[in-house]
Amino acid sequence: MQQDRERLAGLPPVRVVPAGEVRAALAGTPTVVVLDDDPTGTQTVRDLPVLTRWSADDVGWALAQGAPAFFVLTNTRSLAPDDAAARTREVVRTCLDVARRRGVEVIVASRSDSTLRGHFPLETDVVAAEVGADAVVLAPAFPDAGRVTLGGVHWLREGDTLTPVAESEFAADASFGYRHSRLADWVAEKSGGAIPAGDVAEVGLGSLRAGPVTLPRARVIVLDAVVDDDLRAGVLAILAAERDGARFVYRVGPSFVRARVGQGEQPPIADADLRDAVGTGHGLVVVGSHVARTSRQLERLGARRELARVEIDVPTVLASDRHLDDVVAQVASSLEHRTTVLSTSRTLVTGRDEAESLEIARRVSAALTGVVGRVVAASPPAYVLAKGGITSSDVATESLRADRAWVRGSLLPGIVSLWAPASGPPLVVFAGNVGGEDALADVVDRLEEAACA
């Protein structure tokens, strides 16, 4: 810990880069299409459109809103590699075709997990081939949630403690595990050596904080970032390079998107606005995430407030889904009286390999979202809170059929986003791996107070 403090204390002074400076530099630049491999990429921004479908009409609607960016929820983190590649290609081609017919340009960002889980470099390879990109900008930092990149190494930060991301539980992910924290080595590892570490250039804090930066030429460019000013400094360098003809694919965490669209850190949604956004009665909390942080948050929620708990037993569902009728009835009944938590059983069931683990995850998610959809259709709750990235995606697309929505802002500083779908109850998107142990309880308290006001 002492070494961590010294590392953080020895950083050069922050170079303040106002969000307004980025907004000024955005004049005349293409719209950014953010391909979000789960919906948690929206948690740092507000007032941007989100699509969960990508027909030409949907993309045309998003472009017509005049926003600097819009999200397309691809949910590819839940797919097998071939399916993820096919979906990414389909979305990019649709967006390029619609933009071309409208006489506008778009740039594509591949937004993925700030703890490095996801299909890399598969997705950026697909995007680069479609748009003719020269290089990948790799910027997974998410300072709001304590994910920072320093010296080319990606860290989890809690106070003054820095943990290399490869030493965290996230690196042991059944589908997307890895061994390296230095991003150049991680790129080489995940690409199977196709992109050697020597083809990765690092843009360090010293350069970003010293003044205007000229980006190096490389197949992958890693951006250090400890605060959002660092990301905005990187964005200014990217915009300058793009004006000179460079074409990038961005592989990024949520904070880069906020920096790239010229938004600064903003406070959570005000209580009055939250009251206007949610319905009346009680909310449904849907928990699919199995990371330890979610389990601890769920325990603290139960300790703070009286809940109705309904559980889908995963081994039973994998054998037969006949008990789901009983689950639907229990959830609908309990919502009449109190906040209701619908979760899968907490013991994680994995397969023999990555493909089988993904198939199990899909079957469990289908059971969970099927129950939510039936409950919402029969008696809409005041809100739906989805805990976990893939869970949030499936709830949005399958349970709520929220084809088009707006991100209205966050419920905690920089994390946990509120979506306003075109119809149906509001959706709260809460990643499985963010927030302190009381975060879920704090968010539910705010929502229940608003719904019962």
DSSP conformational letter for 179: S
Q: Which of the four pLDDT bands, split at 50, 70 and 90, describes residue 291?
A: confident
pLDDT of residue 7: 78
* 4-29 tens-digit pLDDT: 766 777 899 999 999 999 999 999 99
Side-chain-facing half-sphere of 132: CA atoms under 13 Å: 4
Residue pair 152/222 in contact by the 8 Å Cβ criterion: yes
* 45-89 tens-digit pLDDT: 999 999 999 999 999 999 999 999 999 999 999 889 999 999 999
pLDDT of residue 423: 87
Task: Return the closest-CA partner of residue 318 out of 286, 341, 350.
Answer: 350
Segments of 271-324 assigned E as strands? 284-287, 308-312
pLDDT of residue 226: 97
Residue pair 180/166 in contact by the 8 Å Cβ criterion: yes
Q: Which of the four pLDDT bands, split at 50, 70 and 90, describes residue 1?
A: low
* 113-149 tens-digit pLDDT: 999 999 999 999 999 999 999 999 999 999 999 999 9
> What is the greatest pairwise CA distance in the chain?
62
Per-residue pLDDT, averaged over 162-178, amounts to 94
Residue 349 has pLDDT above 80, yes or no: no
Per-residue pLDDT, averaged over 308-315, amounts to 86
Q: Which of the four pLDDT bands, split at 50, 70 and 90, describes residue 351?
A: low
* 381-428 tens-digit pLDDT: 999 999 988 788 889 999 999 999 999 999 999 899 999 998 889 999
Angle of helix 439-451 relative to helix 292-304, nearest 10 degrees? 50
DSSP 38-87: SGGGGTT--SEEEES---HHHHHHHHHT--SEEEEE--GGGS-HHHHHHH
pLDDT of residue 346: 59
Strand partners, 147: 142, 156
Residue 2 has pLDDT above 90, yes or no: no
Which residue type is seen at 15?
Answer: R
* 111/254 Cα distance (integer angstroms): 7
The model carries a pTM of 0.89
Dihedral sign for Cα 172, 177, 178, 184, please. Answer: negative
Residue 111 has pLDDT above 90, yes or no: yes
CA–CA distance from 165 to each of 98, 170, 190, 400 (Å)? 39, 7, 15, 34
Residue with tokens 């789960």: 38
| Domains, the chain, with CATH or none | 2-260 (3.40.50.10840), 271-451 (3.40.980.20)
pLDDT of residue 348: 67
Mean pLDDT over each residue of the chain, to the nearest integer: 93
Q: Which of the four pLDDT bands, split at 50, 70 and 90, describes residue 319?
A: confident
pLDDT of residue 159: 87
pLDDT of residue 388: 85
